[in-house]
Amino acid sequence: MSNLQVKLNNIYQFVTSNEVFSLKEKISNCQKMVEEKSGKGNDFLGWVTLPAEINDDLLKSIEKVAADLGAKSEFVVVVGIGGSYLGAKAVIEALGSSFAMFENGGTKVIFAGNSICEDFHAELLRLLDKHTYSIVVISKSGTTTEPAITFRLLKQHLESKFGKTEAAARIVAITDKSKGALRKLADSEGYRTFVIPDDVGGRYSVLTPVGLLPIAIAGFDIRRFVDGARKAMQDTSANVPFENNPSCLYAAARNVLYAKGKKVEIMVNYTPKLHFLTEWWKQLFGESEGKENKGIFPAGVDFTTDLHSMGQYIQEGERFIFETVVSVDNPKRHLTIPNDPENLDQLNFLTGKRLSEVNHMAELGTIAAHNDGGVPCIQISIPELSEYWIGYLMYFFERACAISGYTIEVNPFDQPGVEAYKKNMFALLGKPGFEEKGKALRKRLGV
């Protein structure tokens, strides 16, 4: 049966299979730490069994709210940043039409609250002036600056457009069950809410309402998505031996490469639909592993377009990189290259070939070229872009990330470094309590 595959053949010019398998015991211990909740950050391991625990009542209430918002809105604006948006964005981009925004029918999901760009927000409000819309506001802490600013703007806009009562019926908040400013506001305004479990951190939350509600609003089958994750949970569990366990093999391979000085991992895709899966993966691994002056730097490229830009560096630049190529075996649609009697572009040898075949040869040719240039390639493939296989793939990565973080002995579930910029930003903006810091910073920065 087709399944997610992890292929390591194209790293073996650089490391041996013995070296990968030498991590077997360490990785098995890390697996135990994940399942027995005995490692660092063990109060954030709720995501491990989440696929098996999501119940029908929760799925039904998500589907009901999605249908209700969809029925009365041309747009649903999902407000959130980091782990509170990248998972849903990745799934919707992977599964939807590349031109969904321009097609008739279906509620369009717009993501906002992930920047402080004035033009973006002004343009968003201008668009929403002319359309019906609802808001899903997502923040686990309930205090994150970017989504809070966006929500302030949107709440006022929605209330002046529809009146306070109707606006409240068009706002859904996803947040902590009892703490934080968003919970307080949602309770006092009477918004419908969903809860982010205490033991699931933002970047591991795609299988909570954080991911499931926007995915359902966009019209995708969240039950199949959960089914895929559920199967991945079985296939990556500690009962599955190292050599058959895709998350263990991936975690081991990337750590052996890291130990050999390959400090940058570039995720490669051959379909622009996976661009945001890479963004989600970058956050997952970057925020989980990049601490205590350790961790592989996760980067991403979209091929073949980036072969015409970053391809040069990958082929011949500094040799501290490896690639992880994520490919999809079967496209959803069918398109062949037509014959051209004039053949000025000399491409008639491709007549009748499917674009996916040409794309696949580009992929194989690139892997061989990059290998020749000193770049090892881990290959991960899924059978198709469907709810099931994206759910499978995301859980597979979450599991691999936790194991990999434990392998380098960091806490894969915290993000202390994210606070540094926030403190400086608040100090520069004159937040009460930050006066001294603000003065020192302004002097230092000459502003």
Q: List residues binding ligand PA5 (CB under 6 A).
A: 81-84, 139-141, 144, 147, 201-203, 287, 415
Residue 131 makes CB contacts below 8 A (sequence gap 6+) with 74, 75
CB of 175 to ligand PA5, least distance (A): 8
Residue among 70 and 80 whose Cβ is closer to ligand PA5: 80
**Is 287 known to be catalytic?**
yes
Sheet with 264-269, side-by-side order of all strands = 5-7, 377-384, 321-330, 264-269, 297-302
Residue 148 makes CB contacts below 8 A (sequence gap 6+) with 139, 181, 182
Ranked by CB distance to ligand PA5, the top (closest) residue is: 202
Residue among 31 and 175 whose Cβ is closer to ligand PA5: 175
What is the distance between the alpha carbons of residues 5 and 245, in angstroms, rounded to a whole number? 10
CB of 144 to ligand PA5, least distance (A): 3
CB of 146 to ligand PA5, least distance (A): 8
CB of 84 to ligand PA5, least distance (A): 4
**Residue with token string 């948006």:** 85
Burial of 24 (0-12, 13-18, 19+ CB in 10 A): middle
Write down the catalytic residue from 130, 308, 334, 443: 308
Three-class SS state of 54:
coil
CB of 433 to ligand PA5, least distance (A): 20
Residue 279 makes CB contacts below 8 A (sequence gap 6+) with 86, 89, 90, 300
CB of 140 to ligand PA5, least distance (A): 4
Residue among 287 and 302 whose Cβ is closer to ligand PA5: 287
User: What is the token pair recorded at 332?
Assistant: 């959803």
DSSP conformation letters of 326-366:
EEEEE-SS--BPPP-TT-TTS-GGGTT-BHHHHHHHHHHHH
User: What is the token pair recorded at 79?
Assistant: 């407000």
Residue among 82 and 211 whose Cβ is closer to ligand PA5: 82
What is the distance between the alpha carbons of residues 42 and 49, in angstroms, rounded to a whole number? 13
From 75, 71, 84, select the one nearest 113 (Cα to Cα).
Answer: 84
Write down the catalytic residue from 422, 423, 435, 439: 422
CB of 40 to ligand PA5, least distance (A): 15
CB of 149 to ligand PA5, least distance (A): 12
Residue among 11 and 174 whose Cβ is closer to ligand PA5: 174
Residue among 206 and 229 whose Cβ is closer to ligand PA5: 206
CB 92 within 8 A of CB 109: yes
Q: How many C-beta neighbours within 10 Å does residue 311 have?
A: 17
Residue among 368 and 418 whose Cβ is closer to ligand PA5: 418
Three-class SS state of 14:
coil
CB 227 within 8 A of CB 391: yes
Residue among 181 and 264 whose Cβ is closer to ligand PA5: 181
What is the distance between the alpha carbons of residues 313 and 297, in angstroms, rounded to a whole number? 16
Write down the catalytic residue from 265, 287, 363, 387: 287
The two counts, helices (H) then strands (E), for the chain are: 18, 10
**Is 308 known to be catalytic?**
yes
**Is 422 known to be catalytic?**
yes
Catalytic residue numbers, as ranges: 287, 308, 422
